[in-house]
Amino acid sequence: MGLIGRVALSVCALIGVASPAAADAVAEFYAGKQVRFIIRSGVGGGYDSYARLLVRHISRHIPGKPSVTPVNMPGGGGIIAANHVALAAPKDGTILTMVSQGLPVDQALGLNTTLKADLRTFHWIGNMSAANQILAVWHTSPTKTVADAQKRETLIGSTGAGSISTQLPALLNNLVGTKFKIVIGYPDGRDVNLAMERGEIEGRGANPWVSYKSTSPRMVADKLIRPLVQFGLESDPEIAEAPLFLNLPVSPENKPVVEFMSKAVMVGRPVATTPGAPLDRVTALRRAFDATLNDAEFKKDADSQRAEIDYMSGEQLEKIISDLIGAPQDVRTRVRNAMRPNDADMKALEGAKEVKEQ
């Protein structure tokens, strides 16, 4: 956990304490209840791993100690889960979810008409990780540097059209001149990893480096993947061989695009509850999140699965998401144009959908 995260976590542990009457009302509501944690991916991927880590510990910090049950709802790069939480799930504080990292950008830019949720109406509980994203290639790929990717077509796998694993390679294509061929539509990150191992594709569009270490440690230990580019506000020294996107040469008019996306990746593993949840329960869930990430048993469990935790409060997370969605229109237009997959990639996605539906 970074210094800022540790300080913020310590401060949040001391504030936001509800009055005894309000706390009793929240505890009375949650006692004997089941809280469902909606996970935007299938079992075994990075989102699932982080979500289940939180599920195992947060119950004892929620007033009334409800049971917390994970529910996997994969599809659409996280859009199916987000729409369910926004439109269909109970609005009473009995739903938690980990939102796909790319969806705030998706909404800001209006990239995908199937996203019906308005993330500004979600109540943000906290962020478990702000680790850098990386675009990685399989160790056998002839593409070993950004310069190589500018010279040859490299097949890169991604999940939904609105996922960050599609957005980031498209951004590199449009701003840096790489020639990534984006294969869109894998159900989740595990499927992309398997496709790399089978040789169907050469790399994965985006995944946090810490997630690779946690959920695919063999790939890291045996150097089966090669980080090609990292995305964030500061370079991760552990993968210093991968240049920081923020430092790659782009035209001056595109610098705001690079800065926008570098900030966006800070939204790593964001946890929320539904729009319309009562504010006293939202406050209780935020304080339960804070207490969980400061809990010795949680930390031990996180260490055992190599899950790197970089805490961000619900209030901080809410502001970042609001700032992204509310960015000036000219910046959002420029970002939208820069991260759009090419027509061939999108046609391939539509063709794959038609085959699947037949």
pLDDT for 329 beyond 80: yes
Q: What is the pLDDT of residue 22?
A: 67
User: For the chain, what is the mean pLDDT?
Assistant: 88
- Higher-confidence position of 307 and 25: 25
Query: What is residue 135's predicted lDDT score, i.e. its pLDDT?
Result: 97
Topology agreement, domain 3-130+266-327 and domain 133-253+343-357: yes
pLDDT at 343: 58
Torsion of CA 121, 122, 127, 130, to 10 degrees: -50
Fold that domain 3-130+266-327 belongs to in CATH? D-Maltodextrin-Binding Protein; domain 2 (3.40.190)
Q: Which of 15-24, 56-65, 217-226, 347-356 has the lowest mean pLDDT?
A: 347-356
Q: For the whole model, what pTM was predicted?
A: 0.72
Report domain extents, the chain. Answer: 3-130+266-327, 133-253+343-357
Whether residue 15 is predicted with pLDDT greater than 90 in this model: the reply is: no
Question: Class of 133-253+343-357 per CATH?
Answer: alpha beta
| Count of residues making up the chain | 358
pLDDT one-digit tens code per residue, 258-273: 999 998 888 889 999 9
What pairing do the DSSP bridges indicate for beta strands 95-98 and 180-183? unpaired
Give residue-wise pLDDT tens across range 198-215: 999 999 999 988 889 888
Model confidence over 289-308: pLDDT tens digits?
A: 999 999 999 999 999 988 88
Rounded CA-CA distance 191/120 in Å is 30
pLDDT the model gives residue 159: 86
Nearest to 331 by CA among 250, 249, 258: 258
The Cα 309–Cα 154 span in angstroms is: 32
- Listed residue (259, 191, 148, 181) closest to 48, CA to CA: 191
Q: Which of 69-83, 101-115, 142-156, 246-260 has the lowest mean pLDDT?
A: 101-115
Q: Rounded to an integer, what distance in angstroms lies between the CA atom of residue 178 and that of residue 296?
A: 45
CA distance 338 to 322: 21
- Alpha-carbon gap, residue 71 to 88, rounded angstroms: 15
